[in-house]
Amino acid sequence: MTTDAAAAFAAAFGDTPDGVWAAPGRINLIGEHTDYNEGYVLPAALPHATRVAARRRPDGVVRLYSAQGDGQVTSVVLDGRAPGSVPGWAAYPAGVFWALAEAGHAVGGADLAFSSDVPTGAGLSSSAALECATAIALDELYGLGLDAPGRALIAQRAENAFVGVPCGALDQMASSCCVEGHAFFLDTRTLIGRQVPLDLPAVGLTLLVVDTRVKHDLGDGAYAGLRAGCERAAELLGVPALRDVAAEELAAAEEKLPADLRPLLRHVVTEDQRVLDTVAALDAGDPRALGPILTAGHASLRDDYRISCPETDLAVATANAAGALGARMMGGGFGGSVLALVDSDRLEAVESAVHAAFAEAGYGAPHTFTATPAQGAHRVG
């Protein structure tokens, strides 16, 4: 893939790049829709990544090319470009240039060629990988001196204000800050995190990802609507964010909310607790305890947050029936991927049960693979 990005660069720009950088997609063990409620998350980086081969340009021009795109080079003159002015995938890297300039960084033009094997629209943060690869390439090409969380916040700003998706910090913080062999326990209010060792194969366990290949679109308004509902609930409760409602206060807090906002509060408060319980189980050397927590997380997303769909529900139910310790949908919702915790010797049985169930239901074949925690954004060439 390093060579893919360099080869894409040569094909698009007829030259060699100054360097090649990579930023990964992510799984999220637990902590879904907690980030914009200033709560906890526990992602890990995937081996799947977006590579970018990049070279500085002396003028203010940005040229963008993707090996997975339509073969065209997108040229953007950034001066005066307003958010929303760059269509398609190129808006993500263009947004990073914009966000860096807006934050006062002296960043000039560049040629960038991307090559990615992060599945898109699968709840595995392909957008964040694209943004964070751009951010680290520009940071190092222009000597900006940012750190990993700083690059993540620039990437999030690009997505929020330039692309127009009101996401939280989970995906970009994961893609920038994760460390190989670890899950990243992050408090999204303080942005203070801790790397939690995660070597499941050593204890006979495997994380199975089922990409249902049902595409969601975070820009379609549902995500923004949920976020707005949470913010309204916090306002009615008189707290800065739903993170501030303690588990013991949940029942009393629900009483103060209209019926439509209660399930949102319930999900966020119980999900934050599930993150804390998961970290405690990992710290205590009891990773099998994660199984029921994952399944409870799925029920909460399905019944309270209501962002599951028949395909993710089927993947979770089938994996569990075939012997998984637990499973849940990940990401924004309305499709995407399911994460299952499986005894390694049950892996094949669980995988084939899911494939069979999808075939029987008449769904398209899912894409299944195992996940071992990989390294966050870094230079590769």
Q: Minimal distance in Å, beta carbon 172 to ligand GLA?
A: 8
Q: From the CB of residue 82, how many other CB atoms can be counted at a distance below 10 Å?
A: 8
Question: Which residue lies nearer to ligand GLA by CB, 45 or 113?
Answer: 45
- Confirm or reject binding of residue 33 to ligand GLA (CB under 6 A): yes
Tokens 């090409």 correspond to: 141
- Confirm or reject binding of residue 121 to ligand GLA (CB under 6 A): no
- Confirm or reject binding of residue 332 to ligand GLA (CB under 6 A): yes
- Confirm or reject binding of residue 271 to ligand GLA (CB under 6 A): no
Helices (H), 110-169: 126-141, 148-157
Size of the site for ligand GLA (CB under 6 A): 10
Q: What span, in angstroms and rounded, lies between the C-alpha atoms of 48 and 34? A: 24
Q: What span, in angstroms and rounded, lies between the C-alpha atoms of 294 and 256? A: 29
Q: Which of 93, 331, 335, 376 binds ligand GLA (CB under 6 A)?
A: 331
Question: Which residue lies nearer to ligand GLA by CB, 182 or 267?
Answer: 267
* Amino acid at the residue 12: A
In 176-253, which ranges are E strands? 182-187, 192-197, 205-211
Q: Which position among 4, 171, 211, 272 bears the catalytic label?
A: 171
Please report, as residue ranges, which positions from 35 to 94 form the binding site for ligand GLA (by CB under 6 A). 35-36
Please name every residue paired with 270 in a beta bridge, in sequence order, or none if there are none: none
Radius of gyration, alpha carbons of the chain: 21
Q: Minimal distance in Å, beta carbon 332 to ligand GLA?
A: 4
Question: Which residue lies nearer to ligand GLA by CB, 23 or 78?
Answer: 23
Q: Is residue 144 a contact partner of residue 100, using CB atoms and an 8 Å limit?
A: yes
Q: Minimal distance in Å, beta carbon 163 to ligand GLA?
A: 11
In 188-278, which ranges are E strands? 192-197, 205-211
The candidate with the shortest Cα–Cα distance to 167, out of 295, 331, 377, is 331
Q: Which helix (H) or strand (E) holds 279?
A: helix 262-283
SS3 198: coil
Question: Which residue lies nearer to ligand GLA by CB, 168 or 326?
Answer: 168
- Confirm or reject binding of residue 186 to ligand GLA (CB under 6 A): no
Question: Which residue lies nearer to ligand GLA by CB, 129 or 207?
Answer: 129
* Amino acid at the residue 234: A
The residue at minimum Cβ distance from ligand GLA is 167
Question: Which residue lies nearer to ligand GLA by CB, 19 or 331?
Answer: 331
- Confirm or reject binding of residue 253 to ligand GLA (CB under 6 A): no
- Confirm or reject binding of residue 32 to ligand GLA (CB under 6 A): yes
Question: 171 an active-site residue?
Answer: yes
From 28-36, 317-325, 348-356, 362-370, give the range in contact with ligand GLA by CB under 6 A.
28-36
SS3 282: helix
Q: Minimal distance in Å, beta carbon 168 to ligand GLA?
A: 4
Q: Minimal distance in Å, beta carbon 367 to ligand GLA?
A: 18
The candidate with the shortest Cα–Cα distance to 81, out of 101, 103, 104, is 101
Q: How far is CA 173 from CA 147, 151, 169, 185, 371, in A?
A: 11, 8, 6, 11, 18
What is the pattern of x (binds ligand GLA, CB under 6 A) and - over residues 154-183?
-------------xx-xx------------
Chain residues in the site for ligand GLA (CB under 6 A): 32-33, 35-36, 167-168, 170-171, 331-332
Q: Which of the residues are catalytic?
A: 171
